[in-house]
């Protein structure tokens, strides 16, 4: 596993390096002390994995993550921070990172899992958990259908942080296989998808007796009058304009589940 370490504190880079090399077959191919330095290094090497600090001079980890993924969209980037800061977490995941670890946590097991399969899930230190006031949502299961991986990733992270269970589908046809009798409390579907679009998926689901009453939210960059009328006829609960603000998105989710 080829790794780049990005942190303005040499002592922490050394600590991470020591830990990673104990846990697996790891080659630290480069180190950087800020985001700009990291991006310049990225032009000359091809890492599998990047661990990046959030707060750094010149360019922070969130900005650097966003720019790095423009250069190499397949790169796995894990954020590191001293703070359990919701805005940092949300902004970093929105930028495309695959995890957020607290520097002072015991992350050895999580580091081991990342090295074994860096794309297996979104990785978080155990202290990062949904707010207690939202614990009543934990039994609600939401199915996401969207053909864009980054959108699925951001929505999954947002909903899991709010305490919901999440099922993901890559398009409308893929989503239908989950309507097999299992408990699904809400369907959130993109409008434009291959094989079966959001309206076609909703129409099919509403014809299934067990799921006739399920609320459905439609994600879209545009809704014209014809599609609005069609969605009302099918029984769509509402639609959410892309790109969405996370707080408003969660408000739509909560309202649809009431």
Residue 225 pLDDT grade (very low, low, confident, very high; cuts 50, 70, 90): confident
Write down the pLDDT at residue 107: 86
Domains in the chain: boundaries:
2-124, 132-256
At 72, give phi and psi (nearest 5°): -140, 90
- 2-124 with 132-256: one CATH topology? yes
Q: Give the pLDDT confidence of 229-252 residue by residue, as tens digits.
A: 888 888 899 988 887 888 889 999
Q: Is 128 helix (H, G, I), strand (E, B) or coil?
A: coil
CATH number listed for the domain at residues 2-124:
3.40.50.2300
pTM of the model: 0.54
Between CA 165 and CA 14 the distance in angstroms is 37
Which residue in 178, 239, 165, 183 sits closest to 204, CA to CA?
Answer: 178
Q: Give the pLDDT confidence of 82-117 residue by residue, as tens digits.
A: 888 888 898 999 899 999 999 878 888 899 999 989
Which residue in 194, 167, 192 sits closest to 179, CA to CA?
Answer: 167
Q: Give the pLDDT confidence of 6-64 residue by residue, as tens digits.
A: 999 998 899 899 889 888 889 999 999 999 999 999 988 889 999 999 999 889 999 99
- Cis peptide leading into residue 201 (ω within 30°): no
Residue 133 pLDDT grade (very low, low, confident, very high; cuts 50, 70, 90): very low
Write down the pLDDT at residue 130: 43
The domain made up of 132-256 is a member of CATH 3.40.50.11030: no
CB atoms within 10 A of CB 86: 12
Which residue in 98, 38, 95 sits closest to 65, CA to CA?
Answer: 95
Residue 134 pLDDT grade (very low, low, confident, very high; cuts 50, 70, 90): very low
Instruction: Provide the H-helix boundaries in the chain.
Output: 10-23, 35-42, 61-71, 86-95, 108-116, 149-161, 172-176, 198-206, 225-234, 246-256
Q: Is 253 helix (H, G, I), strand (E, B) or coil?
A: helix
End-to-end CA distance of the chain: 46
Tokens of 63: 């900005």
């Amino acid at each position: 596993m080829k790794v780049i370490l990005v942190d303005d504190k040499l002592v922490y880079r050394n600590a991470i390096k020591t830990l990673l090399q104990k846990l697996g077959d790891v080659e630290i191919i480069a180190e950087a002390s800020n985001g700009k330095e990291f991006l310049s290094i990225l032009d000359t090497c091809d890492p599998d994995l990047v661990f990046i600090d959030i707060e750094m001079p010149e360019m922070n980890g969130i900005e650097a993550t966003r720019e790095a993924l423009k250069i190499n969209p397949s790169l796995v980037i894990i954020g590191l921070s001293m703070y359990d800061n919701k805005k940092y977490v949300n902004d970093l995941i929105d930028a495309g990172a695959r995890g957020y670890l607290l520097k002072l946590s015991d992350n050895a097991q999580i580091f081991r899992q990342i090295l074994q399969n860096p794309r297996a899930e979104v990785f978080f230190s155990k202290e990062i958990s949904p707010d207690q006031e939202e614990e009543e949502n934990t039994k609600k299961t939401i199915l996401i259908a969207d053909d864009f991986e980054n959108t699925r990733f951001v929505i999954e992270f947002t909903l899991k942080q709010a305490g919901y269970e999440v099922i993901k589908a890559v398009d409308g046809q893929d989503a239908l296989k989950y309507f097999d009798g299992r408990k699904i409390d809400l369907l959130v579907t993109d409008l434009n998808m291959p094989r079966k679009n959001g309206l076609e998926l909703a129409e099919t689901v509403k014809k299934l007796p067990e799921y006739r009453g399920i609320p459905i939210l439609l994600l879209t960059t545009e809704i014209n009058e014809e599609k609005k009328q069609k969605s009302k006829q099918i029984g769509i609960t509402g639609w959410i304009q892309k790109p969405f603000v996370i707080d408003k998105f969660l408000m739509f989710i909560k309202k649809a589940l009431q």
